[in-house]
Structure 1
Amino acid sequence: MTREAVFAACAKMPEGDGDDNAAVSALSDLGFTVRWGVWDDPAVDFSSADVVVLRATWDYPERRAEFLDWCESVPALCNPAAVVRWNTDKSYLVELLDAGVPTVPTTLVEPGEQAKWPKVPFVVKPSVGAGSVGAARFGADAAGAAEHLRTLHAEGRTALVQPYQSSVDTQGEIALVYLGGVYSHAFTKAAMLGSGVDPSGLFLAEKLAAAVPASGVRAVAEDALDAACSLLSILRAELLYARVDVVRGEDGHPLVLELELTEPSLGFRNADAGAPLRFASAVRQQLA
């Protein structure tokens, strides 16, 4: 039986950044025809596909409401629209904290509110954003942070304030990938703040490498995934993919930096050859 999968992307990167090429081949081996489609292109028919997978819709932060409306209109969307709505606003980090998940301390500053700046180096970033665009690190320069906050608020954006985790400078982040709710692989990401912007303008450039997470790191990632599924009233198996980005806190313990359930890069170019095959099987599982 031939089935059709559509990988949803954006106009600036209509076929992604190349990381998903192996996944396309793996799906073809399972009898899928795979095509790419720009999510806001009215000429693209998403309704006829057996499954629509969010892969490179990286321009949504500027048009989140429109993007969410589109997600609601697409049958067989992975991950589902309700998950996308929850996950595309990083205020979910506060919910993870409240659920007891070890998470980087996060404070929300709504437009019109004043921030209480940490007494340690910290990061200010929009609660709706992708690829670290709009994120900035500050030390003792509260004036610079206040100006950045004013800029975000002037754009109608809620800001997140988080203490900067210095381990990122030496260890970077580790990203753990789950497919169909099951651990698949991991890769490290070097520090991005201060790095150059990708030519697409959609995200900061990343340096990735394959990794094997320590047991404590995996435990925190699993806790985050379980807490999110509880908050969303779904099973882990209902998530085609999830990526948990973890850093070491100042005490050396792992902390969740982000939980990516919408359109994360899954690091197939830095994974073992079986990872794209596991992804393809997870897609079939969603259809079942």
Structure 2
Amino acid sequence: MSVAIRVAVATSSIGLELDPDLSPLVAALRARGIEAEAVAWDRVDYDWAACAAVVIRSTWGYPERLDEYLAWVDAVAAVTRLDNPAGLVRWNTDKRYLGELAERGVPVVPTRFVAPGEAPVLPERGHFVVKPAVSAGARDSARYAAHQHDAALRHIAALHAAGATVLVQPYLSRIDEGERALVFLGGTFSHAIRKGPVLTEVGVVDNERSPHPNLAPHHPSRAELALADAALAAAPKARELLYARVDVALDDAGSPVLMELELVEPHLFLAGNTCAVLRFADLIRERVTAGRPDRGQEPPSSAS
């Protein structure tokens, strides 16, 4: 008799309530003979070492508890397989990785990084965005017009007072055409969506806004796929990625630029996409069963 394989899908208390991807993913894993369950990452009574793998999903809210979260990431990685791996998670939680990708030749939205104690230089023309380097879902982010320097400086000062490094970026004039999110599973393109602009109000920090408004399927262009491939290739230890989401928008000339490379807990838009759910579950099963002596005794995948 084969030994049951346990996989924890790491989420959060909010994710347990609101993440639509959890139920179909857990169900698909169970259909493949995996003892799977969704577990809040900060649950104190859970034995992570008993799992063959822990898959990070909707661990929402981690930026407010970053040190605690990264300690959990390291602790889990020390006792079992963690996907995505701890080193990539640690690298990707701070948006200063955008500077590294730009240095490696990836077309990235122009970004200035302003650490606490440094004087910000703000654009004299056009709209621009202020956001913290550690953030998710556009939290504590706002868009400003060129005449709103005083408000932007107050925003930056507040973020600096909280110890945050700040990103200042131009607000792309073609963002109304939609931000593209390209999802990769096991390094292979899976599917993409397009969403509407998030920072629609000027000079407003609104942490209750939807981070994914007006979702629609998207068929990426060759240029968008090439940019995504370049961004993934430039990430450290990219071959170890279980999943990735590459967020892309068009610059003023219509060329795609990288907005973010999401490797920690991105929404993968699996709900309603049965093929993607099955591919993801197959990939997880393949990774946790590779090299096990009882692999041949486990039930085959039902994906088509």
Normalised by the length of structure 2, the TM-score is 0.87
Structure 1 position 261 matched with structure 2 position 267: no
* Aligned pairs (5 A) from 1:102-113: 102-113=107-118
Q: Secondary structure at the match of 1:283?
A: helix
Q: Secondary structure at the match of 2:232?
A: helix
Greater displacement, 240-249 / 185-194? 185-194
2:245 aligned residue (243, 246, 249) = 243
1:190 aligned residue (177, 188, 196) = 196
Deviations 1:225-284 (A, max 9, x none): 0011xxx2x242x2110000000001100001000000111011354x211111012212
Deviations 1:33-76 (A, max 9, x none): 21111111211221211111111111110111111111001021
Q: Tell me how many residue pairs correspond in the alignment.
A: 279
Q: Tell me the distance in 2 between the aligned counterparts of 1:54 and 1:194.
A: 30
Whichever of the two has the greater Rg, that structure is: 2
Q: Secondary structure at the match of 1:175?
A: strand
Partner residue in 1 for 2:161: 154
> Residue 20 of structure 1: CA displacement?
3.1
**Structure 2 unmatched ranges of 5 or more:** 291-304
Q: Tell me the distance in 1 between the aligned counterparts of 2:209 and 2:169.
A: 22
Q: Tell me the distance in 2 between the aligned counterparts of 1:8 and 1:23.
A: 12
In angstroms, what is the RMSD of aligned CA positions? 1.8
Structure 1 position 132 matched with structure 2 position 138: yes
> Residue 202 of structure 1: CA displacement?
9.5
Normalised by the length of structure 1, the TM-score is 0.92
1:36 aligned residue (28, 31, 38) = 38
Structure 1 position 167 matched with structure 2 position 174: yes
Q: Tell me the distance in 1 between the aligned counterparts of 2:151 and 2:85.
A: 39
Q: Aligned AA for 1:92?
A: Y
Partner residue in 1 for 2:10: 8
Structure 1 position 87 matched with structure 2 position 92: yes
Q: Secondary structure at the match of 2:14?
A: coil
Q: Aligned AA for 1:269?
A: A
Structure 1 position 213 matched with structure 2 position 214: no
Q: Aligned AA for 2:117?
A: G
Partner residue in 1 for 2:28: 26
Partner residue in 1 for 2:293: none
Q: Cα distance 1:16–1:55, how it changes in 2: closer, same or farther (>3 A)?
A: farther
Query: In 1, are the aligned partners of 2:232 and 2:238 still within 8 Å (CA)?
Result: no
> Residue 207 of structure 1: CA displacement?
2.7
Query: In 1, are the aligned partners of 2:11 and 2:59 still within 8 Å (CA)?
Result: yes
Q: Aligned AA for 2:284?
A: V
Q: Tell me the distance in 2 between the aligned counterparts of 1:26 and 1:128.
A: 32
Query: In 2, are the aligned partners of 1:59 and 1:202 still within 8 Å (CA)?
Result: no
Partner residue in 1 for 2:149: 142
Q: Tell me the distance in 2 between the aligned counterparts of 1:26 and 1:10.
A: 20
Partner residue in 2 for 1:64: 66
2:51 aligned residue (49, 52, 56) = 49
Query: In 2, are the aligned partners of 1:174 and 1:189 still within 8 Å (CA)?
Result: yes
* Aligned pairs (5 A) from 1:219-230: 219-228=226-235
Q: Tell me the distance in 2 between the aligned counterparts of 1:15 and 1:76.
A: 25
Sequence identity percentage: 44
Query: In 2, are the aligned partners of 1:210 and 1:270 still within 8 Å (CA)?
Result: no
Q: Secondary structure at the match of 1:274?
A: helix
